[in-house]
């Protein structure tokens, strides 16, 4: 990625004097804002609004002037009373809240927000979507006989009606994940696909499924709903109700007038209504696991005719929370086994251990990664602020006021604030409302109608601040989210990647601010790595914490995952050497000797149950391919051979 060297864009008021100006990819071929001037940047031609970070850069000095306390000299909390001195206003009138919300403190209520922007017909920049932003992302594909990528939708053998709908949706050009994944899926191959948040994964699995279902004449068999049992041809599962709803809505747009019937089944909504929808016929079922199991156990859905299975947010679906239910649905009910159905797994993050689990559901699959697995898009400007827990509310208030003072510069932007707990979400919503900021909370303890209403009033701008737990962290595609605030940081870096990914979508820019407190030190190293990788400016105090936090890189009990690092894999785990605790004589696909930052595979050959092992290509350990982990653990194991299989024995942990 290039760093822009000043020139025409010299600062009026430089806030980053010591570093060259990074130009995010979405600005590279367009009108350029002044990148040395934060205010100018915020009001640039991206989708999010001016947020006034100039005032934040002076935050620390203001705090010191006030004599605010800092525990270790690095915290920048305001160190003053909890109210921040703001005037308090009552909760909003529930009626006509957009127009009459008490905004005496000046918080601008956006006008009605469009749900979609329009797209141009003329090439790369369509309705603010700048495809150049994605062009230089490296692509990794592995597996046998990989179908080649395409450059246009027209090159793919999709059904006629679907083409029309792609045009109707103004999808002029496929995104990289679509260019690669759709031909693979249309060729009938199983797929594990990873691409950054907001890069178009939904269409990447919906298009082949809709097309495949449409071409599958067997769905017209009269027995398709016999005895009021629904026999869908395709099943798309996702972890949350809101995401299932969203996928359902998207898929319906893509399947408009094709005759392909799509039904959603998710918890919290009346099951009787969902049964009635199923009774009208279903080709593609979009479901959350809990409601699906319920329906299958009540004998209303059979999976015997499933030909296409897609798991969105697949790593979440296979982590410890969901895995038993997914195994039950996919392995213990009546679904055809791998090989007899086509299985597609999609996510922006895919930890190695989950990749291994996922392999159980796949047959001869292709692994596709657009960018490094678990990486974050450069479209999102990431800021990390050092804030003590006790100062977070004031800090947030200052942030929101700063947005207020600088205005939205004619742009409409929503702010999504992530907190750790449901109680914390309610408390922050109440507090913000008391302070005169129109906020609404969404979390798992709210009934579904409340959740939907919260999301609606956020989307339409009636409550432009949504306080959310992780229930809103994955998959949700809400236009105009300009700013994501991690009021509480998540425990692992993958969670952070998904949360900040609610902004900076579809080629548009976004801003993510994290409040980092001493509780988050274990996350520092992974955060620094992620930020560096996406060319973000890393504060020096965070780098210091990262150095300190190396000692936190111990295996947690949870499936050998790194705490903090999230164990995010760089690539197809089949191409990696094994480095997990407790693996003995475990055969792995060699071909690579990989350095994982802390460990690298090493020396010695065992294996060798695999015929394709090529002893001639064996690479014995040398100082360059044999490393020690941070913990001083020596890996003894093997390498190499393009198709070789070797054993890796982590002797240090015996
Ligand atoms: N080819 C395209 N042309 C124009 N817009 C597109 C295209 N593909 C996807 N989009 C739009 O991009 C946005 C993001 O897409 P999508 O929600 O599928 O992202 P995602 O990769 O699934 O993100 P996440 O990882 O957060 O789930 C959506 O608004 C979608 O309509």
pLDDT tens, residue by residue, 183-240: 999 999 999 999 999 999 999 999 999 999 999 866 665 544 456 899 999 999 999 9
Evaluate: CB of 242 within 6 angstroms of ligand 1.
no
Judge whether residue 554 has pLDDT over 80. no
Q: What is the mean pLDDT of residues 386-401?
A: 96
Considering just the CA atoms, what is the radius of gyration of the chain in Å? 25
Distance in Å, CA 204 to ligand 1 centroid: 9
Evaluate: CB of 171 within 6 angstroms of ligand 1.
yes
DSSP 432-446: HHHTT--EEEE-TTS
Distance in Å, CA 155 to ligand 1 centroid: 20
Cβ-in-10-Å burial (0-12, 13-18, 19+) of 96 comes to exposed
Bridge pairing between strands 308-312 and 234-237: parallel
Distance in Å, CA 266 to ligand 1 centroid: 22
Spatial separation of the C-alpha atoms in residues 639 and 625, rounded to whole Å: 9
Report helix, strand or coil for 452: helix
Residues 6+ apart with CB under 8 A from 334: 302, 303, 304
pLDDT tens for 308-358 read: 999 999 999 999 889 999 999 999 999 999 999 999 999 999 999 999 999
Evaluate: CB of 76 within 6 angstroms of ligand 1.
no
pLDDT of 640: 37
Report helix, strand or coil for 9: helix
Residue in 264, 191, 266, 144 with CA at minimum distance from that of residue 612: 144
Distance in Å, CA 443 to ligand 1 centroid: 24
Q: Which residues pair with 568 in a beta bridge?
A: 351
Spatial separation of the C-alpha atoms in residues 80 and 281, rounded to whole Å: 61
Spatial separation of the C-alpha atoms in residues 380 and 368, rounded to whole Å: 23
pLDDT tens for 494-506 read: 999 999 999 999 9
pLDDT tens for 111-149 read: 434 333 332 333 333 444 666 666 778 899 999 999 999
Is the four-CA dihedral 415, 417, 423, 424 of positive or negative sign? negative
Judge whether residue 359 has pLDDT over 70. yes
pLDDT tens for 480-489 read: 999 999 999 9
Length of the chain: 654
Comparing 62-66, 278-282, 313-317, 428-432, the range with the smallest average pLDDT is 62-66
Phi, psi torsion values for 338, nearest 5 degrees = -55, 145
Judge whether residue 294 has pLDDT over 90. yes
Evaluate: CB of 480 within 6 angstroms of ligand 1.
no
Query: At which residue do the structure tokens 């952070």 appear?
Result: 496
Out of 120, 251, 416, 506, mutate this one to test ligand 1's pocket (max ligand atoms within 8 Å of CB): namely 506
Write down the mean pLDDT value for the chain.
72
- Of these ranges, 84-93, 101-110, 124-133, 421-430, the one predicted with the greatest mean pLDDT is 421-430
Q: Strands of 298-431 (E only): list them.
A: 308-312, 342-347, 366-370, 380-386, 414-418
Distance in Å, CA 259 to ligand 1 centroid: 24
Separation in Å, CA 35 to CA 18, 19, 21, 644: 13, 11, 6, 49
The residue whose C-alpha atom lies closest to atom 9 belonging to ligand 1 is: 200
Residue in 578, 626, 571, 570 with CA at minimum distance from that of residue 606: 578
pLDDT of 261: 95
Evaluate: CB of 201 within 6 angstroms of ligand 1.
yes
The residue whose C-alpha atom lies closest to atom 3 belonging to ligand 1 is: 171
Question: Burial code of 406-434, b = ≥16 C-beta within 10 A, e = fewer?
Answer: bebeebbbbbbbbbbebebbbebbebbbe
Spatial separation of the C-alpha atoms in residues 402 and 52, rounded to whole Å: 5
**DSSP 8-state secondary structure symbol assigned to residue 301:** B
- Of these ranges, 63-72, 387-396, 599-608, the one predicted with the greatest mean pLDDT is 387-396
The residue whose C-alpha atom lies closest to atom 16 belonging to ligand 1 is: 200
Evaluate: CB of 129 within 6 angstroms of ligand 1.
yes
**Whole-model pTM above 0.80?**
no
Distance in Å, CA 396 to ligand 1 centroid: 29
pLDDT of 320: 84
Percent of the chain past pLDDT 70, that is, above it, reads: 61
Tell which atom from ligand 1 comes closest to the C-alpha of 172.
3
Judge whether residue 31 has pLDDT over 90. no
- What would the 3-class secondary structure string for 516-560 be? ECHHHHHHHHHHHHHHHHCCCCCCHHHHHHHHHHHHHCCECCCCC
Comparing 403-417, 497-511, 540-554, the range with the smallest average pLDDT is 403-417
Q: How many helices (H) and strands (E) does the chain have?
A: 20, 20
The residue whose C-alpha atom lies closest to atom 10 belonging to ligand 1 is: 200
Tell which atom from ligand 1 comes closest to the C-alpha of 199.
21
Evaluate: CB of 246 within 6 angstroms of ligand 1.
no
pLDDT of 472: 97
Q: CA 209, 215, 219: angle at the middle one, nearest 5?
A: 90
Evaluate: CB of 314 within 6 angstroms of ligand 1.
no
Distance in Å, CA 82 to ligand 1 centroid: 40
Residue in 448, 427, 438, 364 with CA at minimum distance from that of residue 400: 438
- The H or E element containing residue 286 is strand 284-287
Evaluate: CB of 347 within 6 angstroms of ligand 1.
no
Spatial separation of the C-alpha atoms in residues 577 and 591, rounded to whole Å: 9
Distance in Å, CA 468 to ligand 1 centroid: 21
The residue whose C-alpha atom lies closest to atom 22 belonging to ligand 1 is: 201
The residue whose C-alpha atom lies closest to atom 8 belonging to ligand 1 is: 200
Judge whether residue 645 has pLDDT over 60. no
Distance in Å, CA 88 to ligand 1 centroid: 39
Judge whether residue 617 has pLDDT over 90. no
Judge whether residue 644 has pLDDT over 50. no
Evaluate: CB of 79 within 6 angstroms of ligand 1.
no
Distance in Å, CA 248 to ligand 1 centroid: 14
Spatial separation of the C-alpha atoms in residues 332 and 335, rounded to whole Å: 8
Evaluate: CB of 239 within 6 angstroms of ligand 1.
no
Judge whether residue 435 has pLDDT over 90. yes
Evaluate: CB of 506 within 6 angstroms of ligand 1.
yes
Judge whether residue 579 has pLDDT over 60. no
Phi, psi torsion values for 301, nearest 5 degrees = -130, 135
pLDDT of 136: 73
Comparison of pLDDT for 280 and 603, the residue scoring more: 280
pLDDT of 492: 93
Is the four-CA dihedral 188, 194, 196, 202 of positive or negative sign? positive
Bridge pairing between strands 366-370 and 191-195: parallel
Comparing 146-160, 416-430, 586-600, the range with the smallest average pLDDT is 586-600
| CB-based contact 396:467 (threshold 8 Å) | no
Distance in Å, CA 551 to ligand 1 centroid: 38
pLDDT of 159: 87
Asked whether the ipTM of the predicted complex exceeds the cut of 0.90, the reply is yes
Q: What is the mean pLDDT of residues 70-79?
A: 41
Comparison of pLDDT for 424 and 19, the residue scoring more: 424
């Amino acid at each position: 990625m290039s760093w822009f060297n000043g020139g025409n864009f010299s600062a009026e008021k430089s806030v980053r004097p010591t570093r060259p100006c990074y130009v995010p990819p979405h600005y590279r071929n367009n009108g350029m804002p002044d990148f040395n001037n934060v205010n100018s940047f915020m009001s640039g031609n991206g989708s999010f609004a001016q947020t006034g970070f100039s005032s934040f850069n002076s935050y620390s000095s203001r705090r010191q002037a006030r004599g605010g306390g800092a525990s270790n000299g690095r915290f920048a909390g305001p160190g003053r009373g909890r109210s921040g001195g703001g005037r308090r206003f009552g909760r909003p009138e529930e009626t006509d809240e957009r127009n009459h919300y008490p905004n005496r403190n000046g918080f601008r209520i956006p006008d009605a927000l469009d749900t979609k922007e329009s797209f141009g017909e003329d090439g790369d920049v369509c309705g603010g979507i700048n495809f150049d932003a994605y062009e230089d992302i490296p692509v990794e594909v592995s597996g046998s006989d990989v179908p080649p990528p395409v450059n246009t939708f027209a090159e793919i053998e999709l059904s006629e009606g679907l083409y029309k709908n792609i045009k109707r949706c103004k999808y002029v050009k496929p995104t990289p994940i679509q260019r690669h994944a759709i031909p693979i899926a249309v060729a009938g191959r199983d797929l594990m696909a990873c691409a950054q948040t907001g890069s178009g994964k939904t269409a990447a699995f919906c298009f082949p499924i809709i097309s495949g279902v449409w071409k599958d004449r067997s769905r017209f068999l009269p027995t398709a709903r016999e005895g009021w049992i629904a026999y869908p041809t395709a099943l798309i599962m996702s972890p949350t109700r809101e995401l299932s709803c969203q996928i359902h809505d998207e898929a319906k747009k893509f399947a408009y007038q094709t005759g392909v019937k799509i039904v959603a089944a998710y918890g919290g909504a009346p099951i009787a209504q969902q049964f009635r929808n199923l009774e009208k016929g279903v080709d593609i079922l979009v479901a959350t696991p809990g409601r699906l199991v319920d329906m299958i156990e009540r004998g209303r859905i059979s999976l015997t005719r499933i030909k296409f299975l897609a798991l969105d947010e697949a790593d979440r679906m296979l982590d410890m929370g969901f895995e038993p239910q997914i195994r039950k649905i996919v392995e213990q009910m009546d679904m055809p086994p791998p090989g007899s159905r086509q299985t597609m797994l999609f996510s922006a993050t895919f930890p190695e251990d989950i990749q291994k689990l996922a392999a159980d559901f796949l047959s001869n699959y292709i692994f596709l990664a657009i960018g490094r697995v678990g990486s974050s898009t450069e479209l999102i400007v990431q800021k990390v602020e050092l804030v003590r827990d006790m100062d977070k509310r004031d800090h947030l208030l200052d942030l929101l006021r700063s947005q207020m003072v600088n205005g939205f510069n004619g742009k409409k932007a929503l702010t999504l604030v992530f907190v750790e707990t449901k109680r914390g979400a309610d408390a922050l919503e109440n507090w913000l409302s008391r302070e005169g900021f129109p906020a609404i909370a969404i979390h798992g303890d709210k009934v579904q109608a409340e959740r939907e209403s919260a999301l609606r009033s956020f989307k339409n701008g009636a409550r432009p601040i949504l306080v959310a737990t992780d229930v809103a962290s994955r998959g949700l595609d809400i236009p105009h989210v300009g700013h994501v605030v991690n009021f509480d940081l998540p425990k692992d870096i993958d969670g952070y990647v998904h949360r900040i990914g609610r902004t900076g979508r579809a080629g548009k820019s976004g801003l993510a601010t994290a409040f980092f407190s001493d509780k988050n030190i274990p996350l520092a190293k992974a955060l620094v790595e992620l930020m560096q990788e996406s060319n973000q400016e890393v504060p020096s105090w965070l780098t210091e914490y990262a150095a300190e936090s190396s000692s936190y890189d111990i295996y947690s009990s949870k499936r050998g995952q790194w705490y903090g690092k999230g164990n995010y894999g760089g690539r197809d785990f089949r191409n990696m050497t094994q480095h997990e605790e407790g693996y003995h004589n475990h055969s792995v696909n060699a071909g690579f000797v990989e350095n994982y930052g802390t460990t690298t595979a090493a020396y010695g050959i065992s294996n060798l149950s695999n015929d394709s092992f090529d002893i001639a290509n064996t690479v014995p350990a040398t100082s360059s391919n044999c490393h020690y982990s941070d913990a001083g653990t020596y890996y003894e194991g093997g390498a190499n051979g393009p198709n070789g299989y070797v054993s890796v024995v982590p002797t240090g942990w015996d």
